[in-house]
Amino acid sequence: MSGQTERKTNGYIDTQSQETAAYLKYFSLVTLMLQNAVFILMMRYVRTRPGDMFMSTTAVIMSEVLKFLACFIIIFYKEGGMKGFLSHLNENIIKQPMDFLKISVPSIIYTLQNNLLFVAVSNLDAAVFQVTYQLKILTTALFSVIMLGKPLSRLQWVSLFILFCGVALVQVQPTGSSQSKVPVKQNPLLGLIAVLVQCCLSGFAGVYFEKILKGTKQSIWLRNFELGMIGAIIGFITMELNDGQKVAEKGFFFGYDYVVWTVICLQSFGGLVVAIVVKYADNILKGFATSGAIIISCIAAIYFFDFHLSLQFFVGASLVIISVFMYSKFVPQKPPAFPPATQNV
């Protein structure tokens, strides 16, 4: 009798677990989609609206500082207080200086990448940026083959070729055919160069970070604590080189308002949130999220930024969406041995 009750109870628990897993998958889908779309749309807005313009280098610093503080609080709580926190840092950072130096490489790259993000979004429409930035799938795949020896199926190579063709179509459309009207001067060529460099940096840093995570036992929170700390330092150096005089004259928080702070929070915490929820979503759902973000960006750009959707852009964006589905579908569906590296955007 007790055995039957136990089986019924186990069956109920299993059903509950399946329902929870299904809920978390769809929650992951929505979170990834909104994080990818809303962040870029809001950043595009704050970089093209009239009025006092904040300095992007200071925003990158604040994003890294907030990431650092968030991870500090999480580690502090998990280790049971300051004593446990300091002991944790001593064991994993101070006693392992070479490991800390290794993590500085992706940290420097991510900081540079975040600065380039502001340049790209300031000069490219949100929809065009979303489509073009999917080239990071191509660069990540290439670096995975070179650095990790990961094999790609024939269909994955085909999907990467379709991706490249789709992005090329979007970029070679007639000048001004799908550009939105904004009150600030834009340089589409500069924006394109920025996003291409960003894709290369994203691919290398992501694979390098994955390689580090595979070879060490440190948690994703400690890794992001290190990334935030180093990133803030590199950010200050970048700010001094690019905007040092302007910051001295106008102040660090010149041009900040609640919208700018929202963008900074989305950039800082978005990656951490995605790191938590993405493990519940398989690669096909990630493809849905990426495609959904492109569609949301296009629709929102039409209504909010007077973006003109050309036939060439539509065909190119469609090819990119198809390629994302193809590539995601044929990635081996194995559970990750570690939480994914958090990346902006």
The DSSP secondary structure of 97-109, one letter per residue, reads: HHHHHHHHHHHHH
Interhelix angle 2-48/283-304, rounded to 10 degrees, is 30
Phi, psi at residue 236, to the nearest 5°? -65, -40
Tokens of 62: 């604040």
Please identify which residue in the block is written with the tokens 């959707």.
309
Separation between Cα atoms, residue 141 and residue 135, nearest integer Å: 10
- Asked whether 294 and 321 are in contact (CB, 8 A), the reply is yes
Residue type, 86: L
CA angle 73, 78, 81 (to 5 degrees): 70
Beta-carbon contacts of 300 under 8 Å, excluding residues fewer than 6 positions away, are 37, 41, 126
- Asked whether 134 and 290 are in contact (CB, 8 A), the reply is yes
Separation between Cα atoms, residue 251 and residue 303, nearest integer Å: 34
CA distances from 171 to 190, 291, 292 (A): 13, 18, 20
Looking at residue 183, what is its pLDDT? 57
- Asked whether 304 and 259 are in contact (CB, 8 A), the reply is no
Separation between Cα atoms, residue 155 and residue 169, nearest integer Å: 21
Looking at residue 236, what is its pLDDT? 93
User: Could you tell me the residue ranges of all domains in the chain?
Assistant: 53-329
- Which regions of the chain are under pLDDT 70? 1-22, 24-25, 28, 173-184, 213-216, 271-288, 330-345
Phi, psi at residue 304, to the nearest 5°? -100, -25
Separation between Cα atoms, residue 192 and residue 112, nearest integer Å: 16
Closest-CA residue to 111 (of 215, 247, 208, 231): 231
Looking at residue 79, what is its pLDDT? 87
Q: What is the CA radius of gyration of the chain?
A: 21
Tokens of 191: 């924006």
Looking at residue 63, what is its pLDDT? 92
Looking at residue 336, what is its pLDDT? 42
Looking at residue 338, what is its pLDDT? 39
Looking at residue 334, what is its pLDDT? 47
Separation between Cα atoms, residue 121 and residue 297, nearest integer Å: 12
Distance of CA 93 to the CA centre of its chain: 25
Separation between Cα atoms, residue 8 and residue 24, nearest integer Å: 24
Looking at residue 279, what is its pLDDT? 57
